[in-house]
């Protein structure tokens, strides 16, 4: 019987890994698309507006986070996954229409098209929130919780990072030359959007025929679990703050780096360089390093406590950002696909290396936050997805600071966030043991 149980978990695990990857495709389109919109008339290179698609996507968490926790309990994990994937397809289609509606039309101006794009980003954000609420507790449960559950989440995160690495690099390659000539538009990104919609359609069919059961810890559908129940647990309360901060830091570091490299006025790259390709390359490198870190963690995660991983990674990321801020004028020659050999800032390398540190943070924060919650786990997951709105708020805050004080000064925002994550890891994540 034990062998059947293990084998029966494989289809569910495969489905969760696929959903992990799809969320990366949807999420990591925001920064390169922000670069496209920053080149449009009336937006005038505003880093704040460039981050608005990302912000709108994460704002969806406020509206769907808690309801997702309720859906997991009442509809189950499979039907919640199917609904989420359908929303993901719709979100991509609406973002696609933001380019199509404006083609050859005098009715739709840039502002109207930008609004349609933001609506699409919001719908896509609903998908991302719902899927993240499904995959983390499912993989944690399939692994039996603790270090093994964290290890399975790391394996899933590795596939997430493969998709996250490919998406910005592909978009950067498509828009690079036109970005240099200031003639880029959403239609230039259509191949990626078509690919994403095809993946969503295929995933819906695969999940529909895959056996996905609820985790054993899931409360019965007729049992009313109060939304405020998880607040009884100290590690969950502080974990909600950690989720808000981590979700933002992970996006803010590479997103702002991409804007900096592609900004002609910033002078990070020599005139005439294919900045879109370089920015996409380093954004992709950040994600590739997240992949490397997650692959490594999938092997060692069963032997190292999440608390240790999160604390050490947060401190290392602070050190890398400090190096990057200190040497923005130092350049090294690197071969970049499509762009050729380019003199790139050493700061970009330091910021990209932060991906290695961020690779272990999400699953560590989640596991530390739900430790000991039992039947409150689904309600807590909904709250975590709500607080993941930090993925939009923190990058927006960094963009606001960058508009006023410059790119390097803006990195004080993620540094402060990383400092909190270190404190959470070593002190605030320790659960109280007096709850039934």
CATH code, domain carrying 251: 1.20.1250.20
Q: Is residue 434 part of a domain?
A: no
The pLDDT of 352-372, averaged and rounded, is 88
Q: Is residue 269 part of a domain?
A: yes
Whole domain around residue 377: which residue ranges? 2-428
Statement: residue 5 has pLDDT above 50:
no
Q: Is residue 436 part of a domain?
A: no
Higher pLDDT, 284 or 420: 420
Q: Is residue 94 part of a domain?
A: yes
pLDDT at 7: 43
Statement: residue 1 has pLDDT above 50:
no
Q: Quote the DSSP letter at residue 341.
A: E
Statement: residue 196 has pLDDT above 50:
yes
Q: Provide the mean pLDDT of the chain.
A: 79
pLDDT at 106: 43
Higher pLDDT, 108 or 197: 197
Q: Is residue 24 part of a domain?
A: yes
The pLDDT of 64-71, averaged and rounded, is 79
Taking the C-alpha atoms of residue 161 and residue 399, their distance in angstroms, rounded to an integer, is 24
What is the percent of the chain where pLDDT is above 70? 80
pLDDT at 242: 95
Q: Is residue 344 part of a domain?
A: yes
**Tokens 């000991």, located at residue:** 372
**Of 147, 195, 146, 140, which is closest to residue 20 (Cα–Cα)?**
140
Statement: residue 415 has pLDDT above 90:
yes
Taking the C-alpha atoms of residue 340 and residue 273, their distance in angstroms, rounded to an integer, is 9
pLDDT at 319: 97
312 pLDDT band (50/70/90 cuts)? very high
How many domains are contained in the chain?
A: 1
Element (H, E) at 78: helix 77-100
**Of 1, 367, 348, which is closest to residue 152 (Cα–Cα)?**
367
Q: Is residue 433 part of a domain?
A: no
pLDDT at 177: 58
pLDDT at 352: 95
Higher pLDDT, 162 or 141: 162
Higher pLDDT, 221 or 234: 234
pLDDT at 434: 47
- 297-301, long-range: CB within 8 Å, 24+ apart, which pairs? 297/151, 297/154, 297/157, 297/359, 297/360, 298/151, 298/154, 298/155, 298/158, 301/147, 301/150, 301/151, 301/154, 301/360
Q: Is residue 8 part of a domain?
A: yes
Highest mean pLDDT among 82-86, 141-145, 293-297: 82-86
302 pLDDT band (50/70/90 cuts)? low
Pairing of strands 331-336, 340-345: antiparallel
The pLDDT of 144-151, averaged and rounded, is 64
């Amino acid at each position: 019987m034990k062998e059947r149980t293990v084998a029966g978990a494989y289809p569910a695990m495969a489905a969760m890994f696929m959903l992990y990857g799809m969320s990366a495709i949807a999420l990591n389109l925001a920064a390169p698309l922000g670069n496209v919109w920053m080149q449009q008339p009336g937006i005038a290179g505003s880093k704040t507006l460039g981050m608005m698609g990302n912000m709108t996507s994460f704002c969806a968490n406020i509206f769907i986070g808690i309801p997702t926790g309720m859906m997991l309990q009442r509809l189950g994990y499979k039907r919640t996954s199917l609904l989420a994937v359908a929303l993901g397809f719709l979100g991509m289609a609406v973002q696609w229409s933001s380019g199509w509606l404006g083609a050859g039309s005098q009715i739709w101006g840039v502002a109207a098209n930008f609004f349609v794009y933001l609506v699409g980003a919001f719908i896509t954000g609903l998908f991302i929130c719902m899927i993240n609420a499904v995959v983390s507790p499912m993989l944690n449960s399939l692994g039996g919780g603790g270090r093994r559950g964290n290890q399975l989440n790391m394996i899933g995160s590795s596939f997430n990072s493969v998709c996250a690495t490919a998406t910005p690099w592909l978009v950067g390659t498509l828009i690079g030359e036109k970005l240099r000539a200031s003639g880029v538009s959403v239609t230039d990104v259509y191949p990626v959007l078509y690919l994403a919609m095809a993946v969503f359609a295929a995933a819906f069919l695969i999940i529909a025929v895959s056996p996905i059961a609820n985790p054993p810890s899931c409360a019965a559908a007729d049992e009313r679990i109060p939304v405020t129940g998880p607040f009884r647990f100290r590690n969950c309360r502080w974990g909600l703050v950690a989720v808000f901060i981590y979700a933002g830091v992970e996006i803010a570091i590479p997103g702002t780096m991409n804007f900096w490299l592609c900004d002609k006025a910033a002078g990070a790259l020599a005139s005439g360089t294919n900045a879109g390709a370089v920015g996409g390359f380093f954004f992709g490198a950040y994600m590739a390093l997240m992949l490397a870190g997650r692959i490594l963690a999938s092997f060692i995660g069963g032997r190292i406590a999440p608390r240790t991983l999160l604390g050490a990674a947060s401190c290392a990321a602070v050190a890398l950002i400090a190096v990057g801020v200190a040497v923005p004028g130092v350049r090294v020659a690197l071969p970049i696909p499509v762009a050729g050999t380019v003199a790139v800032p050493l700061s970009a390398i330091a910021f990209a290396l932060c991906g290695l540190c961020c690779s272990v943070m999400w699953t560590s924060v989640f596991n530390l936050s739900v430790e000991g919650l039992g039947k409150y786990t689904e309600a807590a997951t909904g709250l975590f997805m709500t607080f993941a709105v930090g993925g939009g708020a923190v990058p927006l805050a960094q963009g606001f600071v960058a508009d006023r004080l410059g790119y390097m000064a803006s990195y004080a925002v993620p540094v402060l966030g990383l400092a909190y994550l270190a404190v959470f890891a070593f002190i605030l994540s320790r659960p109280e043991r007096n709850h039934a």
